Structure 1
Amino acid sequence: MGVAVMGWLSGKIVHLVGMHPAIETGLNAAGATQSPAGPSDIFVHIAPAPHFVPAHEQSHADWRQTLDAGLDQRFLQAKDYAKQCRDRGLGGVVLFVGAPEQAYGVDQAAAAGALGNLTKTLGVEWARDGIRVNCILTHRADETVGNLAAYLVSDYAAYVTGAVMGVDGND
């Protein structure tokens, strides 16, 4: 099924932060080239799933660690990417990927909920600079997620920004 997106991202350079094998496969199948440094057309941030700590056992350090990884670092890195796009006079694409809101406890729910609002706000604010911002919240690690990621960062989704897509269910 990767054939369906073959070539969508030919000539596009992706800066990928984090790991999600299905997304890497989807981006590669669509023709993207990955680059850990330097200018890129696409910025994809995949936050690691935090460990689950019940709310009544949550320390302030646990709370801050999850918000830092799930929200703060994403915003700061996306902001740097957007600046690079503006400095080059080019648009770009930001895609955040993470777990659904209630997947790993209260700290994850807070981070994912805030990420949804951040995605919507940046999608509107950065649209004037030609920078699209979208988000996938999912547990899945299959071809469907990889193809959705490839679509959202492709030119076929040129009018999609500020979208938060939940992808879950049984395979």
Structure 2
Amino acid sequence: MALMGWLDKRTVRLVGASQVIAAAIDAQGGRVVTDGACDALVHFVAAPIPEPAHEISHANWRQTLDAGLDQRFLLAREFAAARRSAGAGGAIVFVGAPEQDCGSDHAAASGALGNLTKTLGVEWARDGIRVNTVLTSAACPTLGNIVAYLLSDFAAYVTGAVTGVGLDD
């Protein structure tokens, strides 16, 4: 059962393809945008194909860290600067696979993302910007609703949280 209107009139920049998250944002009254000013940022990264640690090239290692950590930080920093300039708060939710699902390169990126989430959640709380992460292997409607909840005012006091979710809808 979904409560309606959690995100009324809010714009959400969704980076990465996730139909369930886009559908939940829409169902809760939000509007997904691809660029420009927005009230919230969601960054979704699909899980990489696991490789044994001894077979990961340096290029693949860097690519996974770039997608799973570096690009997320850069987008979050840009979003937070824009929200501070506008004198407004906001919400950021990172979504990806759990650390143990996808090999050592993904585990390194995901573990660092957890620490980044906690640090930014504390640092940017004074600006009214919340930062949270959802780690899951599922892509179901419940995942979208969890993200919509974390973007909403119902989660106004939730920041710096890394939530691992096992879902089966």
Given that 1:5 and 1:29 are in contact with CA atoms closer than 8 Å, whether structure 2 keeps it comes out as no
Aligned ranges 1:22-171 → 2 under 5 Å: 22-171=20-169
Count of residues in Structure 1 that have an aligned counterpart in Structure 2: 169
Q: Which runs of 4+ in 1 moved over 3 A?
A: none
Q: Deviations along 1:5-40, whole A, 9 cap, x unmatched?
A: 311101100011001111111111101011112110
Q: Deviations along 1:100-136, whole A, 9 cap, x unmatched?
A: 0011100000000000000000000000111000000
C-alpha RMSD of the superposition:
1.0
User: Scaled by the length of structure 2, what TM-score is found?
Assistant: 0.97
Shift of 1:170: 4.4
Amino acid at match of 2:125: A
CA separation in 1, counterparts of 2:118 and 2:152?
18
CA separation in 2, counterparts of 1:6 and 1:92?
20
Given that 1:5 and 1:150 are in contact with CA atoms closer than 8 Å, whether structure 2 keeps it comes out as no
Structure 2: where are the runs of 5+ without partners?
none
CA separation in 2, counterparts of 1:141 and 1:116?
20
Q: Deviations along 1:21-63, whole A, 9 cap, x unmatched?
A: 1111111110101111211000000013212211011111111
SS in 1 for 2:101: coil
Query: Percentage identity across aligned positions?
Result: 60
SS in 2 for 1:95: strand
Structure 1: where are the runs of 5+ without partners?
none
Shift of 1:95: 0.4
User: Scaled by the length of structure 1, what TM-score is found?
Assistant: 0.96
